[in-house]
A = this chain, B = another copy of it.
Amino acid sequence: MSLDAVLSKIDEDLEQATDRLFELLRIPSISTDPAFKGDCDRAADWLVKDLESLGFSAAKRATPGHPMVVGHSGQNGPHVLFYGHYDVQPVDPLNLWHRDPFDPAVEETPAGKVIRGRGSSDDKGQLMTFVEACRAWKAVHGTLPGRISIFFEGEEESGSPSLIPFLKDNAEELKADIALICDTGLFDRDTPAITTMLRGLLGEEIVITGPDKDLHSGMYGGAAINPVRVLARIIAGLHDDTGRITVPGFYDGVAETPDEIRAQWEALGFDADGFLADVGLSKPAGEEGRSVLEMIWARPTCEVNGIAGGYAGDGFKTVLPSEARAKISFRLVGTQDPLNIRENFRAYVRSMLPPDCTVEFHDHGAGPASVMATDDPAFETARQALSDEWPREAAFIGSGGSIPVAGYFKEILGMDSMLIGFGLDNDLIHSPNEKYDLRSFHKGIRSWARILHALNS
């Protein structure tokens, strides 16, 4: 099977591929807004039709929310399940867009050509890189390589309410040797990446109550317990002076980053100063003695995401509040057990309560970290294929955030995921003027052709 012919076909066909992407981008499939329900449906229909034109047996599959799209092709060879999502974020505030978000175009910019439009990067442009690689392959070889299943979701931007039941109900059908998820980015413009470590997330909300009503701080101040002060002590006690988290047992399951991974990361030449400077900072604020990449990819955290109590509007009210609340999240790594940590965190909070104070806990989700089994040879195969396409060697990297679908694939389907994507940090996903570099689209298609070729060689 000639890879070169497929790559040439991709190069020749780029303009047509872009036009096809524009058709999909013109459908305003905003999943969170019921006004666009029909458009989500239309986007699913468009994809089914396109997959069928490539020889997939594809169908729109109903859920209580927006439909899934599932397609299958081939019987033999390694079986991959490709995942992307066809729904997009809302476009507000519309006045900050310099063009209609659903009227896409290729624009010239100082950094090269970009495809402008909602969904261009997140995730329609990304998922079409894989579809276009299949199309070129089919055009050259008359058939698709190996055994490919496709799984497109239409609720990723609205919390994926149907995802877990759908995976459970269709586990046999969807399980493959490995999943390919195209919803992440390049490490940088020239360096492709396979994300193999995703931090987990534990979300907790605590509500401390002292007096049973708001009091006047003149009348009661000094005698009545102030729940904001109690909350402040609880938060202040969560980290020690070296930046380590004090919850008992918190570091159980946190391993040191292996030397070879650490060496790969060092070779990336990550610009930690620039990363911090982009957000107005100059000093890493995490655990002493750790690099910034370790802090965000390989170390657990505890952050306050929100706090409120008393009167915080304009002016001043001398209130001694009855209640204070905080939303606190933990990013988890390795084999940290979120339920165990929740229990120990809650015990810590209770231990910090003075007399007359009570606490209420609200659960905002608990998911462990995902660490892919990179000793599966598919990972190294894909890494080589990516390295052949891009100026620099591909790396296995971590991600500070969570991509829940990878966890569900592991948990429900027992399948690891290779997270490979071509987005850039400046793609403005979720924001006005979202774009996807034409180069990301083009080289993304070529990357998947190389990966499919390598996996089937």
Interface residues of A (CB under 8 A from B): 199, 201, 203, 205, 210-213, 215-226, 228-229, 231-233, 235-239, 275-276, 279-287, 292, 295-296, 299-301, 303-313, 315-321, 324-327, 329, 331, 354-356, 364-365, 399-402
* Stoichiometry, copies per complex: 2
* Contact A229 B239, beta carbon cutoff 8 Å: yes
What is the bound-complex CA distance between A219 and B198, given in angstroms?
A: 11
* Contact A296 B331, beta carbon cutoff 8 Å: no
* Contact A281 B324, beta carbon cutoff 8 Å: no
Which residues of the partner chain B approach A355 to less than 8 Å between Cβ atoms? 282-283
* Contact B365 A279, beta carbon cutoff 8 Å: no
* Contact B212 A296, beta carbon cutoff 8 Å: no
* Residue among A216, A231, A303 with max Cβ neighbours from chain B (10 Å): A303
Which residues of the partner chain B approach A295 to less than 8 Å between Cβ atoms? 222-223
* Contact A212 B280, beta carbon cutoff 8 Å: yes
Q: Other CB < 8 Å A-B pairs besides A235-B236, A306-B313, A318-B401, 15 of them?
A: A211-B280, A212-B279, A219-B401, A222-B295, A222-B299, A229-B235, A231-B232, A232-B236, A283-B355, A303-B320, A305-B320, A307-B312, A310-B327, A312-B327, A315-B364
What is the bound-complex CA distance between A275 and B224, given in angstroms?
A: 10
* Contact A211 B399, beta carbon cutoff 8 Å: no
* Residue among A221, A226, A306, A364 with max Cβ neighbours from chain B (10 Å): A221
Set B203, B218, B229: member contacting A304, Cβ < 8 A: B229
Given contacts A276-B223, A296-B222, are A217 and B329 in contact (CB under 8 A)? Answer: yes
Closest residue to A401 on the B side, CB-wise? B218
Closest residue to A290 on the B side, CB-wise? B222
* Contact A218 B400, beta carbon cutoff 8 Å: yes
* Contact A213 B305, beta carbon cutoff 8 Å: no
Which residues of the partner chain B approach A279 to less than 8 Å between Cβ atoms? 211-213, 215, 220, 224
Which residues of the partner chain B approach A287 to less than 8 Å between Cβ atoms? 222
Give min CB distance, A67 to chain B, whole Å: 25
Which residues of the partner chain B approach A327 to less than 8 Å between Cβ atoms? 310-312, 316-317
Which residues of the partner chain B approach A229 to less than 8 Å between Cβ atoms? 235-236, 238-239, 303-304
Give min CB distance, A235 to chain B, whole Å: 4
Closest residue to A356 on the B side, CB-wise? B281
Please list 13 pairs of residues, one from A and one from B, whose beta carbons are closer than 8 Å in the complex, sorted by A's number. A212-B279, A215-B279, A219-B400, A220-B296, A222-B299, A223-B292, A224-B279, A229-B303, A305-B311, A305-B316, A306-B317, A307-B309, A310-B327
What is the bound-complex CA distance between A285 and B233, given in angstroms?
A: 15
What is the bound-complex CA distance between A301 and B318, given in angstroms?
A: 12
Closest residue to A209 on the B side, CB-wise? B280
Set B217, B285, B304, B400: member contacting A303, Cβ < 8 A: B217
* Contact B307 A218, beta carbon cutoff 8 Å: no
What is the bound-complex CA distance between A282 and B223, given in angstroms?
A: 10
Which residues of the partner chain B approach A213 to less than 8 Å between Cβ atoms? 279-280
* Contact B305 A224, beta carbon cutoff 8 Å: no
* Contact A223 B285, beta carbon cutoff 8 Å: yes
Which residues of the partner chain B approach A232 to less than 8 Å between Cβ atoms? 231-233, 235-236, 304, 307
* Residue among A205, A279, A296, A309 with max Cβ neighbours from chain B (10 Å): A279
What is the bound-complex CA distance between A301 and B231, given in angstroms?
A: 18
* Contact A331 B236, beta carbon cutoff 8 Å: no
* Contact B318 A329, beta carbon cutoff 8 Å: yes
What is the bound-complex CA distance between A205 and B299, given in angstroms?
A: 34
Which residues of the partner chain B approach A326 to less than 8 Å between Cβ atoms? 228, 312
What is the bound-complex CA distance between A238 and B233, given in angstroms?
A: 10
Which residues of the partner chain B approach A221 to less than 8 Å between Cβ atoms? 296, 301, 303, 329, 331, 400
Which residues of the partner chain B approach A356 to less than 8 Å between Cβ atoms? 280-283, 285
Give min CB distance, A92 to chain B, whole Å: 16
Which residues of the partner chain B approach A228 to less than 8 Å between Cβ atoms? 235, 304, 306-307, 326
Q: Which 3 pairs across A and B sit closest by C-beta, in order of nearness?
A: A218-B401, A212-B280, A308-B312
Give min CB distance, A431 to chain B, whole Å: 11
Which residues of the partner chain B approach A224 to less than 8 Å between Cβ atoms? 276, 279, 281, 285
Closest residue to A236 on the B side, CB-wise? B236
